[in-house]
Chain A
Amino acid sequence: MIGLGYTLPAIISVVVVCVLELAALRTGLFRTPAYWIAMVIVFGFQILIDGWLTKLSAPIVIYNEEHTSGVRFPWDIPIEDFLFGWALVTAVLLLWVRERPDREGGR
């Protein structure tokens, strides 16, 4: 329940992604409605998939509770997973929008 192994790195990952965008990449992704709508969709699917992966009755991923906050919501999903997932998907999206489309003549 100390959270050093998962809670802390999960929070740091979110901060790092935010700093990366605001200080270095400056893609403006956070100001686009498309990003936030997409993240709501991703969040919805994450609850379904992560809910299945972490359900305590038959878990696929087993967490050492010493390293998490112990808060699991909804179902048995450790809340840290949402920070982890947000950082993962957002980081890739940031690099994606920074890259030019493979076919030239795009935006």
Chain B
Amino acid sequence: MDRWQYLLILGGCLLITLPIEFFGDGVYRQPIRLLRALTPVLVVFLVWDAIAISLDIWRYNPRYVSGINVPFMPLEEFLFFVVIPVCGLLSYSAVSATLGILRNRQHKTADRSRR
């Protein structure tokens, strides 16, 4: 079970943030925008990560990774650079939607008091 730890953490991140998709403008519903925002950053961080791993700046405990590898790194590490930014975008989307609702409510109250 231990070797699924890193994957389970990433899965948990996606699961916890999933409900936000149905609140506000969503992130997964805008796949093109998501790809265009994510891809350039993903490439830079994957290169950074691959260099760091090859120079032994950090490494992964074989006990807690699945053993599935993509070039230069464990699968989990590659997924990290997709999952974490998506969670960040969902958080931003949730906050933006909430602030939008609050702002609308304020406007309505202001309109009413003017009458």
Contact = CB atoms under 8 A, between A and B. Distances in A.
B99 A95 contact: no
Nearest to B2: A58
Nearest to A36: B95
Contact of A102 (B32, B91, B94, B95): B32
Interface band, chain B = 35 or more
Taking each of A6, A37, A49, A96, which has the highest tally of chain B beta carbons within 10 Å of its own beta carbon? A96
B31 A88 contact: no
Interface residues of A, number: 38
Interface in B41-91: 41, 44-45, 48, 52, 55-61, 63-65, 81, 84-85, 87-89, 91
A38 B13 contact: no
A99 B32 CA distance: 9
B9 A96 contact: no
Contacts of A59: 61
Q: Which 10 A-B pairs have the closest CB atoms?
A: A89-B88, A95-B37, A102-B30, A5-B57, A96-B37, A92-B85, A38-B92, A60-B64, A91-B41, A99-B33
B81 A101 contact: no
Given A34-B99, A58-B64, A95-B41, 9 more contacts: A41-B95, A42-B87, A42-B88, A49-B9, A61-B60, A63-B57, A91-B41, A95-B37, A96-B89
Interface of B: 5-6, 9, 13, 25, 29-34, 36-38, 40-41, 44-45, 48, 52, 55-61, 63-65, 81, 84-85, 87-89, 91-92, 94-96, 99
A100 interface: yes
A82 interface: no
Interface in A18-75: 33-35, 37-38, 41-42, 45, 49, 52-53, 58-64, 67
